[in-house]
Structure formats: C-alpha cells, structure tokens
Amino acid sequence: MKEVERNNQSIMDGQEMGGTAIQEVITRAVQDEEFKSLLVNDPDIALKDYELSEMQLMLIKSLDEEDFDKLTAENMEEFFAADSAVYTPDIDAQLEIEEATEDDI
C-alpha cells in the first residue's frame, strides 16, 4: 500500500504543474499495470487521493481493463479533449429564421 500512496503523491504533485486529475489517473493507468489493476478492481482505493468530479468518477469507474488497453499516447489527447469538451450544437445555423412583418403584429 505504501507504494500506491507514494505514487499517488507523485501524481498529485504533478497535477500542480498542469493537467487535470482525470488526465493523471488515465495516464497513470495506461503506464502502470499495478495501478491499472487496482483502479479496475478497487477504484475507490485507487482514486482516494484524486479530486475528481462525480462525472469523472463515473467515467473512470465505467472503464474496464480492455478500455485502458485501447488507450495509447496517440489517442489519449483525443480522450482528454472529449472529457473537457461541452457539446453545443450550432442550432442557429440549422434554423430558418422568419422575420415578423408589420402585418404579423
């Protein structure tokens, strides 16, 4: 357990230099097999030192070992961009706007 605590502190220190907690967790899981196993089997213990939102916790807890195995250095940036992105469709571009005339009033 001491090793996990030391690694968590190292990651927490790294967060102060930039990046988000979820990025740190996912990156660590991809690079550290022992942490990945702990994260999959006991996420509450693995994540206890990370400040994550409820949404981020749900996301991480929904991932299994195969999901982590699919992540690579090349596709992680896209994964993190999806985490922080807020989808807002461009509704105005799709709407046909009718202007009111004097007769409509």
Q: Residue 94 has what pLDDT?
A: 56
pTM assigned to the model: 0.56
Give the pair of three-digit tokens for residue 87: 């989808």
Are residues 27 and 52 in contact, defined by beta-carbon separation less than 8 angstroms?
no
Q: Position of tokens 């999901």?
A: 67
Q: Residue 18 has what pLDDT?
A: 43
Q: Which of 7, 84, 83, 19 minimizes the C-alpha distance to 45? A: 7
**Helix, strand or coil for residue 89?**
coil
Q: State phi, psi for 66 to the nearest 5 degrees.
A: -65, -40
Give the pair of three-digit tokens for residue 86: 């807020």
Are residues 7 and 49 in contact, defined by beta-carbon separation less than 8 angstroms?
no
Q: Residue 95 has what pLDDT?
A: 58
**pLDDT by residue for the chain (105 residues), tens digit each?**
445 444 444 444 443 334 688 889 988 998 999 999 999 999 999 999 999 999 889 989 998 888 888 887 677 777 666 545 544 445 555 556 677 777 776
Q: Residue 38 has what pLDDT?
A: 96
Helix axes 21-31 and 54-62, enclosed angle (nearest 10) = 20
Q: Residue 71 has what pLDDT?
A: 83
